[in-house]
Amino acid sequence: MATVIIPTPLRKFTENNARLETDETTVKSALRSLSEKYPDLRRHLFDDSGNIRSFLNIFVGEDDIRDRNQGDTPLDSNTVLSIVPAIAGG
Interacting residue with another protein among 1, 67, 74, 77 (CB under 8 A): 67
CA neighbours within 13 Å on the CB side: how many for 86? 5
Site string for another protein, 17-46 (x = CB under 8 A): -x------------------------xx--
Q: Is 69 in the site for another protein (CB under 8 A)?
A: no
Q: What separation, in Å, do the N-terminal and C-terminal C-alpha atoms of the chain show?
A: 36
Nearest distance, CB of residue 1 and another protein, angstroms: 19
Site size with another protein, rule: CB under 8 A: 25
Nearest distance, CB of residue 68 and another protein, angstroms: 11
Q: Under a CB-based contact definition with an 8 Å cutoff, are residues 21 and 3 in contact?
A: yes
CB-based burial of residue 6 (10 Å sphere; 0-12 exposed, 13-18 middle, 19+ buried)? Answer: buried
Which strand (E) or helix (H) includes residue 64?
A: strand 63-64
**Chain contacts with another protein (rule: CB under 8 A):** 5, 7-9, 18, 43-44, 53-55, 57, 59, 62-64, 66-67, 82, 84-90
